[in-house]
């Protein structure tokens, strides 16, 4: 399969910044989909489905592209899902529930060839072990970084790292919303060598 122009199905500045690290030119566009969970849908199935649907939502606009979709949820040990909190009170509640607990972040990743309809999709897990947090810890963090648009109520790439005891997983980039190791694997399966292509792109500049 010959590489095609890349599209990131997201308006997230965090995902854009991650994809830029691979040195590949790309466009980005926001998909307009219903992100509600289906009744009884497991977190892994939800995030993988939404990643695919985000990519598919742009396929008529970008008809000869590789479209990257990604979605993320966080789950507590009891299986409950943590979404983007949206405000201080909900973020405070989320971090209080995470205190001293292991939280599993599940990041769905999909790569769609819009010309052929071929897809690759997976769910990348990553575990975060939170320190035992005081209410003061939580309030100081939230008022400093205001991570109300982030699943789990923290930003891994910022001060959120101070909330953790340890991390377990293959790719910490998945916590920010785009598992780059898995994405590079997908690219190679379809004939795009990220290292060789990044070298060619830099040589043209």
Q: Which residues, in sequence order, are CB contacts of 143 under 8 Å at separation 6+?
A: 88
Query: Does residue 177 contact residue 12 with C-beta atoms inside 8 Å?
Result: yes
Q: Count Cβ atoms below 10 Å from residue 74 Cβ, excluding itself.
A: 26
Quote the CA–CA distance of 111 and 52 in Å, as a whole number: 8
Query: Does residue 69 contact residue 9 with C-beta atoms inside 8 Å?
Result: yes
Which of 98, 102, 106, 172 lies closest to 141, judged by CA?
98
Query: Does residue 153 contact residue 74 with C-beta atoms inside 8 Å?
Result: no
Quote the CA–CA distance of 23 and 186 in Å, as a whole number: 16
Quote the CA–CA distance of 16 and 178 in Å, as a whole number: 9
Is 113 noted as a catalytic residue in this protein?
A: no
Query: Does residue 105 contact residue 175 with C-beta atoms inside 8 Å?
Result: yes
3-class DSSP assignment, residue 59: coil
The residues annotated as belonging to the active site are 71
């Amino acid at each position: 399969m010959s590489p095609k122009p890349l599209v990131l199905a997201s308006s997230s500045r965090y995902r854009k910044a991650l994809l830029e690290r691979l040195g590949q030119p790309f466009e980005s566009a926001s998909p307009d989909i219903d992100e509600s969970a289906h009744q009884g849908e497991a977190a892994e199935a939800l995030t993988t489905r939404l990643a695919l649907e985000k990519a598919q939502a742009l396929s008529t606009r970008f008809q000869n592209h590789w479209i990257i979709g990604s979605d993320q949820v966080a789950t507590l040990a009891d299986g409950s899902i943590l979404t983007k909190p949206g405000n201080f009170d909900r973020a405070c509640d989320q971090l209080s529930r995470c205190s001293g607990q292991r939280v599993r972040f599940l990041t769905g990743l999909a790569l769609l060839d819009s010309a052929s309809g071929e897809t690759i999709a997976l769910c990348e897990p990553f575990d975060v072990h939170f320190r035992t947090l005081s209410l003061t810890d939580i309030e100081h963090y939230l008022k400093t970084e205001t991570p109300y648009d982030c699943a789990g109520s923290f930003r891994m790439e910022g001060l959120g790292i101070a909330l953790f005891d340890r991390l377990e997983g293959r790719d910490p980039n998945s916590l920010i919303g785009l598992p780059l190791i898995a994405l590079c694997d997908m690219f190679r399966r379809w004939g795009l060598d990220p290292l060789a292509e990044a070298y060619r792109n830099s040589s043209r500049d």
